[in-house]
């Protein structure tokens, strides 16, 4: 199981690094929002893999909270995207 | 039986992490917001579901399984909503590469509304 932990965390850390590069590059705010959404999912996977390998359930509520907070974050960023004259959504 | 479940859990965890990496590569490599949204939803949600399945197989605890089902369900429900909002905002703000679009029916509708 230790090998699985190392392999999974290596893959997820590489994924997070690539996503941080995309967040830094942009070019628009919406690209950053999409990348942040995937980054939150990578963090959820990271915590989940650690919980599965070490066989404990203490971090599972955090997975729930993270998945909901990631959703609220990207929706509110899309809602207040600068430069959009989105009057329809205001109603 | 426990060993079989552990092996299944290990396979699910590795496959899920691999899909998360694929999603990240897609987000980095694809050319604009709409194509990046594709890799941000499909491989990412499937990878997360595989990781959750791996956790469930490894813990084998009814309470934990219920919580994992809730996390997976909320991902399945919220991910399309979030990307729909992002795509809508990006399109209306003109932050989409129109030369990459094959069919563009939304622009006509938006022009008619004006």
Instruction: Tell whether A10 is covered by a domain.
Output: yes
Name the residue among A34, A44, A74 with its Cβ closest to that of B48: A44
Using CA atoms, how far apart are residues B71 and B45, in angstroms rounded to an integer? 11
Residue A91 lies in a domain: no
Which chain A residues touch B79 with a CB distance below 8 Å?
Answer: 37, 71
- Return the residue matching tokens 């859990």: B9
Residue A24 lies in a domain: yes
Two tokens, residue A28: 């628009």
Q: How far apart are CA B46 and CA B39, in angstroms?
A: 11
Structure tokens at B51: 């990781």
DSSP one-letter string for B59-108: H--HHHHHHHHHHHHHHHHHHHHHHHHHHHHHHHTT-S-GGG-S---HHH
B1-59 pLDDT, tens digit each: 788 888 998 999 999 999 999 999 999 988 888 888 888 888 889 999 999 999 999 88
From A15's Cα to the closest Cα of chain B, the distance in A is 4
**Residue-range domain boundaries for chain B:** 2-113
Nearest CA in chain A to B78: A71
Residue A53 located in a structural domain? yes
Helix axes of B33-59 and B62-92: crossing angle, nearest 10 degrees: 180
ipTM: 0.86
pLDDT of B114 reads 66
Whether residue A19 lies inside any domain: the answer is yes
Yes or no, beta carbons of A44 and B71 under 8 Å apart: yes
Q: A29-53 and A2-25 helices cross at what angle (nearest 10)? A: 170
Query: Considering only CA atoms, which of B79, B81, B83, B70 is closest in space to residue B45?
Result: B79
Q: Which domain holds residue A73?
A: 2-81
For residue A90, being part of any structural domain is answered with no
Q: What is the DSSP letter of A10?
A: H
Given an 8 Å threshold on Cβ–Cβ distance, is A19 in contact with B27? yes
> Is residue A71 in some structural domain?
yes
Instruction: Give the one of A41, A57, A86 whose C-beta lies nearest to B64's C-beta.
Output: A57
Looking at the structure of chain A, the number of domains it has is 1
CATH class in words for B2-113: mainly alpha
pLDDT confidence of A83, banded at 50, 70, 90?
low
In a domain, A26, yes or no: yes
> What three-state secondary structure class fits B40?
helix
Contact A8, B14 (CB under 8 A): yes
Across residues A16-28, what is the average pLDDT?
88
pTM of structure: 0.86
Does the pLDDT value for residue A91 go beyond 50? no
Q: Do B10 and A37 touch (CB under 8 A)?
A: no
Residues 6+ apart with CB under 8 A from B26: B36, B38, B39, B40, B43
């Amino acid at each position: 199981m230790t090998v699985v932990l190392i392999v999974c965390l290596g893959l997820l850390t590489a994924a997070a690094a690539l996503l941080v590069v995309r967040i830094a590059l942009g070019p628009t705010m919406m690209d950053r929002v999409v990348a942040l959404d995937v980054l939150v999912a990578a963090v959820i996977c990271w915590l989940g893999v650690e919980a599965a390998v070490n066989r404990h359930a203490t971090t599972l509520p955090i997975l729930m909270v993270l998945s909901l907070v990631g959703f609220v974050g990207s929706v509110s960023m899309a809602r207040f995207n600068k430069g959009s004259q989105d009057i329809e959504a205001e109603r | 039986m426990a060993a079989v479940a552990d092996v299944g859990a290990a396979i699910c965890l590795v496959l899920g992490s691999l899909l998360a990496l694929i999603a990240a590569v897609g987000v980095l490599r694809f050319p604009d917001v709409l194509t990046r949204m594709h890799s941000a939803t499909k491989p990412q949600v499937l990878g997360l579901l595989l990781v959750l399945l791996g956790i469930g197989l490894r813990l084998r605890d009814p309470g934990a399984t219920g919580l994992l089902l809730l996390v997976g369900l909320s991902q399945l429900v919220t991910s399309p909503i979030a990307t729909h909002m992002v795509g809508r905002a990006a399109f209306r703000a003109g932050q989409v590469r129109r030369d990459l679009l094959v069919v563009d029916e939304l622009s006509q509708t938006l022009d008619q509304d004006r």
